[in-house]
Structure 1
Amino acid sequence: MSALEFDAVSVRYGKLTAVDGVSLTVPPGQVVGLVGESGSGKSTLARAAAGLAPVSAGRVLLGGVDVRRLPRRRPLQMVFQDPYSSLDPRMAVGESIAEAMPPGTSRAERRAEVARLLELVNLDPDRAAELPGRLSGGQRQRVALARALAGRPEVLIADEITSALDVSVQGAVLNLVREVQRRLSLSMLFISHNLAVVRYVSDVVAVMYLGRIVEAGPAAQVLTDPQHPYTRELLAAAPSARRNLLDDPGDDPLADTEPADPHHPPSGCRYHPRCPIGPLVHPDRTACVTADPAGDAAGRPHSAACHYAASHPTRRSA
């Protein structure tokens, strides 16, 4: 087992800094859930680890080795969001899986390994001869997982792997991911915008906003006692038995506030233009506008990047 470490990683595209100085560790054999709304930089961070996005500053380490120095068949594999575009439609399922295997095995060994992997992801080995077009979205995502496992990874990155699936299928895929991770003792970075999904599979939760980690810690602690107001807002927005996403927000001044332009992030705390405990509600809290809270975040619970992390907002009606 290996740890995946992001050491002050930044990813820039021209004037846009999609990931800004992120430090995060995926411990050996554990699942780190990375959560945040669209555009926060989650997928870009994952692609940097997989060598699919340029690392402008910092390092991504796998077992203490910079991933840029690893061989092409590195012990890190990624499962992507869209099961319909992750497989070659002209290639049989078994061929796609076998293509990802390390070289040096015979044809018979590859066939046996393909069958084993299909069984591991709860698919009939006879599916190996079929084209992806004959499979459902959930079945294709299982094949994509089998293909990733064919590379014999020590670390697996799952990027929004259930978001394109029907709700009825999502639970089965999540159960499968959790079972496979535990059986193989994989280290996993699990990316989602859905806190309920992250809660189900993760040992550690990290929350990302505008390219930065704003809170991270053990999943049970972060999700029951969140320290950053953005984490609390994500939890408040999650559907529950008493509340759903179609509920009227009433007079909430933050309900329709859009994220800041990532090309021109706010000064100080990047969340302050939307924050329910910041200067929008408390004009005297000027530190939120002038000082970056990330500098001393390590000294706060969950490394929360918030000057007023201990201050909880007024509860909203449920």
Structure 2
Amino acid sequence: MSVLEFDRVSVRYGGLTAVDGVSLTVPSGQVVGLVGESGSGKSTLARAAVGLAPVSAGRVLLGGTDVRRLPRRRPLQMVFQDPYSSLDPRMAVGESITEAMPKGTSRRARREEVARLLDLVNLDPERAAMLPGQLSGGQRQRVALARALAGQPEVLIADEITSALDVSVQGAVLNLVREVQRRLSLSMLFISHNLAVVRYVSDVVAVMYLGRIVEAGPAEQVLTDPRHPYTRDLLAAAPSAHRGLLDTTGDDALADTEPADPHHPPAGCRYHPRCPIGPLVHADRSVCVTADPAADAAPRPHRAACHFAA
């Protein structure tokens, strides 16, 4: 039941296709890191999984069952980017966690479970009586994680959960997430724009651009031997910790242009207007403009959506 699968999922808002035919599997007990620029569709894909964004086409499957057919308290939970806005500021920590628990347990059992969950996320159980506003950002994010775990999930989606935190506490939260995931054998979709964070927690990395997955594979392989030029450009633009991963000199630097208009994505390869190995540099590579490389990506290394990935 703990395999989460996106089967050709599309999400549309009017004339905007935020997610376009995405297929991605989160294997049982593994962490899949989803990375890409802001506006690439990462959060929309996550919200589609938990029913907060409309699935216009395709299916989101949990253990082979369409999530739209699962009961309201499905074994799939999400931790959001901003812990303050995801918690009711007027509700005590213990009440917020209790609200997410399955019904039918006694009041005493719920209190004991709140204490256990707070201890699991390295918070003093006495903080159950406090309001979110009385906690730091890192503590609020721990409460948000405890609240998600209260729903007894088999799959957890973490959407940019460290980006709103001070750098000084990001590492502690990441260590906690990795520890909890391993202890509970959770499947996890971990979303971030930070490659260092994704590499630290993920078994598999998927790279998203303009609503599509352009490369996916084992984390170390994708980050040390990327096959899609967009992945290479992300690594080139990353902080210095990634500089030694590959040779990113000359034309491999991230193109100094904005992504294409998502309302009117370019024909062929969606990255070709920015691509350092595409028709802007090699005039003979007109196939990048006329043919969609995602159509036959399966046999390429890392399923890269690039005609020249090999």
Cα distance change on mapping 1:16 and 1:130 into 2, 3 Å: same
* Corresponding residue number in structure 2 for 1:94: 94
Shift of 1:10: 0.3
* Corresponding residue number in structure 2 for 1:287: 287
What count of residue pairs does the alignment treat as equivalent? 305
* Corresponding residue number in structure 2 for 1:274: 274
Mapping of residues 196-235 of structure 1, within 5 Å: 196-235=196-235
Q: Are 1:149 and 2:178 an aligned pair? A: no
Tell me the SS of whatever aligns to 1:84.
helix
* Corresponding residue number in structure 1 for 2:28: 28
TM-superposition CA deviations, 1:219-259 (whole Å, max 9, x none): 0111110000000001111101596xxxxx99988542110
Tell me the SS of whatever aligns to 1:234.
helix
Amino acid in structure 2 at the alignment position of 1:170 = Q
**d(CA) in 2 for partners of 1:241 and 1:218?**
19
* Corresponding residue number in structure 2 for 1:47: 47
More helix as a share of residues: 2
Cα distance change on mapping 1:95 and 1:254 into 2, 3 Å: closer
RMSD across aligned C-alpha pairs, in angstroms? 1.5
* Corresponding residue number in structure 1 for 2:38: 38
Structure 1 unaligned residues grouped into runs of 5+: 244-248, 311-318
Q: Report if the CA contact (8 A) 2:33-2:203 is conserved.
A: yes
TM-score by length of 1: 0.94
**d(CA) in 1 for partners of 2:242 and 2:54?**
43
**d(CA) in 2 for partners of 1:250 and 1:29?**
40
**d(CA) in 1 for partners of 2:237 and 2:110?**
47
**d(CA) in 2 for partners of 1:220 and 1:299?**
19
Q: Report if the CA contact (8 A) 2:196-2:241 is conserved.
A: no
* Corresponding residue number in structure 2 for 1:103: 103
* Corresponding residue number in structure 1 for 2:160: 160
* Corresponding residue number in structure 2 for 1:316: none
* Corresponding residue number in structure 2 for 1:3: 3
Cα distance change on mapping 1:251 and 1:25 into 2, 3 Å: closer
Shift of 1:284: 1.1
Mapping of residues 79-90 of structure 1, within 5 Å: 79-90=79-90
Tell me the SS of whatever aligns to 1:298.
coil
Shift of 1:83: 1.2
Shift of 1:184: 0.1
Amino acid in structure 2 at the alignment position of 1:70 = L
**d(CA) in 2 for partners of 1:132 and 1:38?**
28
Cα distance change on mapping 1:104 and 1:294 into 2, 3 Å: same
Moved more, 255-264 or 28-37: 255-264
* Corresponding residue number in structure 2 for 1:129: 129
Residue identity over aligned pairs, in percent, reads 90
* Corresponding residue number in structure 1 for 2:246: none
TM-superposition CA deviations, 1:35-74 (whole Å, max 9, x none): 0000000000000000000000000000100000000000
Tell me the SS of whatever aligns to 1:18.
strand
TM-score by length of 2: 0.96
* Corresponding residue number in structure 2 for 1:116: 116
**d(CA) in 2 for partners of 1:252 and 1:217?**
21
TM-superposition CA deviations, 1:84-122 (whole Å, max 9, x none): 101000000000000000000000000000000000000
**d(CA) in 1 for partners of 2:18 and 2:60?**
16
Tell me the SS of whatever aligns to 1:119.
helix
Q: Are 1:258 and 2:274 an aligned pair? A: no
**d(CA) in 2 for partners of 1:144 and 1:2?**
21
**d(CA) in 1 for partners of 2:211 and 2:34?**
12
**d(CA) in 2 for partners of 1:12 and 1:252?**
32
**d(CA) in 2 for partners of 1:159 and 1:269?**
27
Q: Report if the CA contact (8 A) 2:236-2:254 is conserved.
A: no
Tell me the SS of whatever aligns to 1:256.
coil
Amino acid in structure 1 at the alignment position of 2:189 = L
TM-superposition CA deviations, 1:165-184 (whole Å, max 9, x none): 00011000000000000000
Tell me the SS of whatever aligns to 2:298.
helix
**d(CA) in 1 for partners of 2:241 and 2:76?**
38
Amino acid in structure 1 at the alignment position of 2:229 = P
**d(CA) in 2 for partners of 1:207 and 1:242?**
16
Amino acid in structure 2 at the alignment position of 1:16 = L
